[in-house]
Amino acid sequence: MKNMMIGVDLAKAVFQVHGALPTGEVQFRKKLSRKQFPAFMAQQESSMVIFEASGSAHFWAREMEALGQEVKLIAPQYVRPFVKRQKNDAADAEAIVIAARQPEMRFVEPKTVDQQSCAAVFRGRERLVHQRTADVNALRTLLYEHGYVFPVGMSHLNRMTALVQDETVDLHTLIREECLDLLAQIAEKTACIIERTTKLKTLAAESDRARRLQTMPGVGPLTAVAVEAFGPDMAEFKTGRNFAAWLGLVPRQHSSGGKERLGRMTKAGQADIRRLLIIGAMSRLNWLGQRTIVEGSWLSHMLMRKPKMLVATALANKMARQIWAMLTKNRDDRDPAIAVGA
């Protein structure tokens, strides 16, 4: 451990810096502007600098590493229990140092520029998908208010488009204009989604790790890029079970007195990868994917006894463990039949 531990509470304009020795002796407390902070840190000897893993933390982690500092990131929920009484920036900075001193503390791996860039494209696509869904729902609701009922889903957009464009349909002029405007917005967002999807597929094709991940049934380019962008180095996890737990593919525990009480899935962890793995698992359980399931395998027994969504979650957990094994051992997925039956 370095001679000095420096906890930094990040903000848009003013940073609170707390310096202390590993024994807990406070060396300084400073409030610095955004311009003063890099200059101040450049004057410090090599130390351990700790940030909360919040907005701009990964950028400042790279900046501090360039200055020769050792950097650690801590999840905010692990810092909160160490805040003393009143919450303010100075107390937060002190709590960051106290939390980092704990020998069993878990840290967040700083992201590279490439990871954050892939994440930005991925999240941009997700944002557009949500906006397009909202526009389609608005269009369907508008038509419903005037007597035309359509089921939920993008698959019925062509039927709604044909109805709006049909001049013989009894729609008020203002309603028709509003519907046409919504259709134009939907078309524009669809084009942007296709563009970003193509970009993500290109990124997946350029990465050897992403190519390896796509050898697993149920894992496509988007899932592979999500693992690349949001997932840490798999060496950070001792086992595939730890990676699955990090994703949140485990039940919530309410255990006490030696009695295990397991509840629903926690929903904690990395939501993007978890959601895509469950979608990929569901694709293995539809009428077409079930043809590849080996009779007498674990998956076939699960399908006979449990609801399909529960089986998909369990299969996603299994896929997460296989991803950990593939990336740590640098090998492609095993034969699908053997993998599912294992």
- What is the pLDDT, as a whole number, of residue 304? 85
Phi and psi at residue 9, to the nearest 5°: -95, 110
What the block records as the tokens of 329 is: 């051992």
| Interstrand relation of 14-20 and 26-33 (parallel, antiparallel or unpaired) | antiparallel
What the block records as the tokens of 165 is: 């464009």
pTM over 0.95: no
Sorting pLDDT into bands at 50, 70 and 90, what band is 257? confident
CATH tag, 5-108: 3.30.420.40
Within 8 A by CB and 6+ apart from 301, the residues are: none
- What is the pLDDT, as a whole number, of residue 256? 81
- What is the pLDDT, as a whole number, of residue 327? 92
Mean pLDDT of the chain: 89
Q: Is the pLDDT confidence value at 330 over 80? A: yes
The 10s digit of each residue's pLDDT in 135-163 is 999 999 999 999 899 999 899 999 999 99
Rg (CA), the chain: 25
Residues in the chain: 342
Torsion-angle region of residue 115: left (phi > 0), alpha (psi -120 to 50) or beta?
alpha
**Which residue in the block uniquely carries the two structure tokens 């509470």?**
9
Q: Find out whether 136 and 186 touch, Cβ atoms under 8 Å.
A: yes
| Strands ordered across the beta sheet of 70-74 | 26-33, 14-20, 5-9, 48-52, 70-74
Sorting pLDDT into bands at 50, 70 and 90, what band is 2? low
| Interstrand relation of 262-265 and 48-52 (parallel, antiparallel or unpaired) | unpaired
The 10s digit of each residue's pLDDT in 59-91 is 999 999 999 999 999 999 999 999 988 888 999
Sorting pLDDT into bands at 50, 70 and 90, what band is 340? very low
